[in-house]
């Protein structure tokens, strides 16, 4: 789907899925970073902008805070990743 995603991009998308940042239910960069201690706020912000450019994330502004949520394409991408990981697990059994 989008082959040029870095490991951090995928981690951000998966974290957004875990916190249910889908569509109108968006989260701040700070909320995401609190769940991903290995990624700085600056790096996460840069990655989110990149993911937005790919159409995987939506960004909105509310009361001066930038909020991010998975787009429908981003949601489909994360589901595809999960299916692939589940398939990999079942092949190892």
The gap from C-alpha 30 to its chain's centroid, in whole angstroms, comes to 13
pLDDT above 90 for 92: no
Per-residue pLDDT band at 88 (split at 50, 70, 90) = low
* Neighbour-count burial of 19, counting CB atoms closer than 10 A to its CB (0-12 exposed, 13-18 middle, 19+ buried): middle
**49 pLDDT higher than 90:** yes
Percentage of the chain beyond pLDDT 70 is: 89
Q: What is the pLDDT of residues 51-87, one digit of tens each?
A: 999 999 999 998 888 999 999 999 999 999 888 877 7
Q: In sequence order, what DSSP letters do the residues of 72-91 get, joined into one string? A: HHHHHHHHHHHHHHHHHHHH
Rg (CA), the chain: 13
Average pLDDT, the chain: 89
Q: Looking at residues 7-28, what average pLDDT do you find?
A: 93
Read off the pTM.
Answer: 0.86
């Amino acid at each position: 789907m989008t082959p040029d995603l870095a490991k951090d991009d995928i981690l951000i998308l998966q974290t957004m899925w875990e916190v249910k940042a889908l569509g109108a239910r968006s989260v701040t960069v700070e909320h995401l970073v609190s769940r991903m201690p290995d990624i700085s706020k600056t790096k996460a912000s840069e990655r989110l902008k990149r993911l937005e450019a790919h159409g995987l994330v939506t960004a909105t502004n509310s009361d001066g805070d930038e909020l991010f949520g998975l787009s429908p394409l981003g949601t489909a991408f994360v589901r595809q990743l999960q299916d692939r990981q589940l398939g990999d697990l079942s092949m190892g059994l």
